[in-house]
Amino acid sequence: MQTIKAIAAIGALMFIAACSSNTNTASMEPPSASTSVAPGSIGDFRQNVGDRVYFDTDMSSIRADGRDTLAKQAEWLKRYTNYPITIEGKCDERGTREYNLALGERRANAARQYLVAQGIPASRIKTISYGKERPEAVGSDEGAWARNRVAITALE
């Protein structure tokens, strides 16, 4: 009797696990029609996981949307362990040059700590800051500024 109960419990557990892993996969992969990148490729990481997290003005704390992205990044990076990782921190132009270099480093480091906390070995992740020297978007409007307050997880 007890054995049966136990087996049922195990079965239920496995079913749940399967379900959750299914939903995970589903959420990570877009409909197959638009999938043109090989799973596990850098393109896959950029397109299907998201390689960047964004920050509020003059801030380096990870926002809720960034937290989701970094969780997905950690999952993917644990599955594909062959990529060395460099996190690039950047800032919008409305700060002074030197301060922004340091702020970019703080942003990159905040993202790195999140990945480490989710099980990516610290030794695998380098950081670099570009401050406001290498903007992702050109322009002096809120749209461009927002895209430039970023930490990009770059794979080699």
Partner 1 sequence: MKTLRLKLLVLLMLALPTAAWAQRGDAVYVEDRLNQIQQSLMTLTGQLEQLQYRNQQLQQQMEKMQADYEYRLDTLEKGGNAGPRPAAAPTPTPAAGGANLAASAPPTRGGPQGEALYHAAFKLLQDGDYAGAERGFRTFVQQNPQHVLAGNAQYWLGETYYARRDYQNAMVAFAEGYKTYKTSPKGPDNLLKLGVTLAVLNKKQEACAVFARFLQDYPRATDLQKRRIDQERQKNGCG
Partner 2 sequence: MMIPHRRTVLFAAASAVLAAPAARAQLTIDMTKPSFEPVPIAIVDLQGDPVGAQMATVIRNNLQNSGLFRSIPPGSFIEKNVGASAPPRFPDWRQVGAAGLVVGSVAQSGGSIKVDFRLWDVIAGAQATGLSFTSQASNWRRLSHIISDAIYKRVTGEEGYFDTRVAYVSETGPLNNRVKRIAIMDQDGANNRYITDGATIAITPRFSPTLQEIVYMAFGENKGPPRVYLQNVDSGRRELMGNFPGMSFAPRFSPDGSRIAMSLSQDGRTNLFEMDVRGRSQRRLTNSPAIDTSPCYSSDGSQIVFNSDRGGSQQLYVMPSGGGGERRISFGEGRYATPVWSPRGDYIAFTKISSGGFGIGIMRPDGSGERLLANGYLVEGPTWAPNGRVLMFFRQQRGGGVGLAAIDVTGRFERTVPTPTEASDPAWSPLIPQ
d(C-alpha 54, C-alpha 143), whole Å: 12
HEC sequence for the chain: CHHHHHHHHHHHHHHHHHHHHHHHHHHHCCCHHHCCCCCCCHHHHHHHHCCEEECCCCCCCCCHHHHHHHHHHHHHHHHCCCCCEEEEEECCCCCCHHHHHHHHHHHHHHHHHHHHHCCCCHHHEEEEEEECCCCCCCCCCHHHHHHHCEEEEEEC
Q: Among residues 103 and 135, whose Cβ is nearest to partner 1?
A: 103
Would you say 45 or 114 has its CB closer to partner 1?
114
User: CB under 8 A: which stretch of 3-11, 46-54, 84-92, 145-153 binds partner 1?
Assistant: 3-11
18 touches, from partner 1, partner 2, none (C-beta below 5 to 8 Å by class): none
Written as one letter, the residue type at 125 is: I
CA pair distance 34, 62, nearest whole angstrom: 30
Please, which residue, 75 or 147, has the CB nearer to partner 2? 147
Assess 37 for contact with partner 2 (CB under 8 A).
no
Of 117, 133, 134, 142, which lies in the binding site for partner 1, with binding defined by CB under 8 A? 117
Does position 142 bind partner 2 by CB under 8 A?
no
Q: Which does 96 bind (CB under 5 to 8 A by kind): partner 1, partner 2, none?
A: partner 2
- Asked if 99 interacts with partner 2 (CB under 8 A), we say yes
Q: Which residues bind partner 1 (CB under 8 A)?
A: 2-3, 6, 9-10, 13, 17, 61-62, 67, 110, 113-114, 116-119
- Note the residues at the interface with partner 2 (CB under 8 A): 58, 60, 86, 88, 93-99, 101-103, 105-106, 109-110, 113, 126, 128-129, 133-140
